[in-house]
Structure 1
């Protein structure tokens, strides 16, 4: 589904502002900065092809952190991958041993 270019730009600007706000609110007590950063990251990743490519490269470089971020952001691809891995582990557990 394509979005109107103005809508994409507005969401990108809001995402950048949320990430900047996370840096400002981060030192204050409480987890507020984490939620602002995650919301900004989600908005940027949904609206910027360049950011998605950079994010994919970072996930390949650091797979443990990438999978954690995917699950945290509830990305559909991560949910599918998690379900597929769970199914494979069940199939391996149910398979008879070769001995």
Structure 2
């Protein structure tokens, strides 16, 4: 009959194996959610970004390699990753990030004379 020490070791090994399987499963689910968010992103509305953020949350919390890759990408492209990092916080600033993205997209696409969001922001600041 096995000793108590051997039973504890086998229980610990089983728990570690289950924990690793759960971590791999959650990381895989995170990847699938990120891919779904990318697929939804071209549709009108902000549907893709929140889905991508949820997938990244799962992926970054359960994969050390993905976390390292994300940190490297953040150091290489801080302006692109900053809105995502703000959404990954415990209390995300969803409205502020959305407004900042609207201003950035407007600056890229709309001619200076027709920019609506900047004029609206200036009107509300005066009040």
Q: Per the shorter chain, which TM-score range?
A: 0.5 to 0.7
Q: Identify the match of residue 55 of structure 1 among 53, 67, 70.
A: 70
Q: Identify the match of residue 83 of structure 2 among 53, 64, 68.
A: 68
Q: Displacement, 1:68? A: 3.4
Q: Who wins on radius of gyration, i.e. which is larger?
A: 2
CA distance in 2, matches of 1:23, 1:63: 20
- Where structure 1 has 5 or more consecutive residues not aligned to the other structure, the ranges are 76-99
1:45 alignment counterpart = 60
When structure 1 is superposed on structure 2, of 43-52 and 63-72 the one drifting more is 63-72
Q: Over aligned residue pairs, what C-alpha RMSD do you find?
A: 2.4
User: In structure 2, do the counterparts of structure 1 residues 23 and 67 end up closer, same or farther at CA, with 3 Å as the change threshold?
Assistant: closer
TM-score in terms of structure 2 length:
0.50
CA distance in 2, matches of 1:26, 1:64: 19
CA distance in 1, matches of 2:72, 2:31: 20
CA distance in 2, matches of 1:74, 1:68: 10
- Residue 27 (1) aligns with residue 42 (2): yes
Q: Relative contact order (alpha carbons < 8 A, sep ≥ 6): 1 or 2 greater?
A: 1
- Where structure 2 has 5 or more consecutive residues not aligned to the other structure, the ranges are 1-15, 91-127
How many residues matched?
A: 75
CA distance in 2, matches of 1:24, 1:63: 24
